[in-house]
A = this chain, B = another copy of it.
Amino acid sequence: MQPETRRYTATQLVTFTKSLFEAAGFDEEKARTTAEILVEADLMGHTTHGLALAPEYLDELEAGAMSRTGAPVVVEDRGATLVWDGLRLPGVWLTARALALACHRARQFGICAVAIRNSHHIACLAAYLLRATEQGLMAIIASSDPSVASVAPFGGTRPVFTPNPLAAGIPTAGDPILIDTSASITTNGLSARLREEGRRYPGLWAVDAQGTPTDDPNVLVADPPGTILPAGGMDHGHKGYALALLVEALTQGLGGFGRAEQPSQWGASVFVQVLDPAAFAGLAAFTAETEWIASACRNSAPLPGVRAVRLPGQAALARRRAALAEGVQLYPGILAGLEKWAAKFGIPLPAGR
């Protein structure tokens, strides 16, 4: 595929994407928030989980598999803890809204956790985190999709989990630490991209249905399918397996809906927690510690062949700064995937330069 050479401003991309979602039936707030978070992912360079998802979301809307309007049902609200039924509303909007509420409540209670059942897909977890860290709050977001299984437990060959991402935004005295990790070595999104591009994993990150380790992402769509390995792989995959179970409990357990109901539609169970350092030992004491460890990491003498140790989020924030200053070059094929929708709704493609 040809590399994209045009550059777009974040505003151009948000305006364009928002218009598409509004044309597809979203109200203004849902369209804006979804566009903002997807574009944020592209600014950060998380290109499998940004605008690349917009055509899939528009397909879901057209098929009636994603709700267009309305608000989540509050199943339970105890102040510092809440459960929402997301009614298959856009997961990006639900998650951003839950995070905003959890930030507000954490200022009141010191801590707040929201579990969301029946959300639609929530895209890139890292893209939400600045909304908390810029207020001096620490956010934790986890997600799973009870309709999908692509990751086996350690020692097993039959997938039972999704990659089960876990993100955390941690304020420091400077740039925040933006963690976006998962219980498995890699994601479904990256696996799909490698398959499309005829590429392989950089390591033995999967096993086929017989349990033979492989770098071939096609085993996931074979019949019978193989599985992505939990983090730690064949050597110490009990580490990723443990994290996968923790995320299942936080998202589906606390939300009270998940694999036990065997849902068949693409969706998400979501867990959002915010901690207010001011309610603990104070924000200054918090950032004194996190800044110290961040600095110690950056200054750890690098391995042979490594230029310097980086913090989680450091490269993403650098890409984001550059993209805001100079415009963003989209990953090849992303805008092409939206051309059909732009034509259908009569919305001009962003001009770029």
Contact = CB atoms under 8 A, between A and B. Distances in A.
Contacts of A240: 231, 239
A280 interface: yes
Given A109-B109, A292-B260, A303-B211, A181 B281 contact: no
A289 interface: yes
6 contacts: A155-B303, A158-B300, A249-B290, A253-B277, A254-B277, A259-B296
Contact of A281 (B159, B257, B297, B311): B257
Between A109, A296, A308, the greatest number of chain B beta carbons within 10 A of the residue's beta carbon is seen for A296
Contact of A292 (B112, B170, B259, B288): B259
B301 A156 contact: yes
Contacts of A300: 152-153, 155-160
A303 B206 CA distance: 12
A91 interface: no
A8 interface: no
Interface string A271-305: 00001110111100111111111001101111110
Contacts of A76: 279-281
Contacts of A242: 168, 179-181, 312
Q: How many copies does the complex hold?
A: 2
A238 to B, nearest CB: 7
A145 to B, nearest CB: 13
A154 interface: yes
A154 B241 CA distance: 20
A225 to B, nearest CB: 12
Given A117-B281, A310-B155, A289 B259 contact: yes
B256 A301 contact: no
A59 B254 CA distance: 43
Interface string A233-264: 10110111111011011101111111110000
Interface residue SS majority, chain A: mixed
A124 interface: no
Interface of A: 75-76, 78-81, 83, 109-113, 115, 117, 138, 140, 152-161, 168, 170, 177, 179-182, 185, 203, 205, 207, 210-211, 231-233, 235-236, 238-243, 245-246, 248-250, 252-260, 275-277, 279-282, 285-293, 296-297, 299-304, 306, 308-312
A170 B245 contact: yes
B275 A113 contact: yes
Contact of A288 (B239, B260, B310): B260
A115 B245 contact: no
A302 to B, nearest CB: 6
B281 A185 contact: no
A110 B80 contact: yes
Between A110, A115, A277, the greatest number of chain B beta carbons within 10 A of the residue's beta carbon is seen for A110
B303 A157 contact: yes
Contacts of A260: 288-289, 291-292
A121 to B, nearest CB: 19
A301 B311 CA distance: 38
A297 to B, nearest CB: 4
A245 B293 contact: yes
A309 B254 contact: no
B109 A78 contact: yes
A235 B75 contact: no
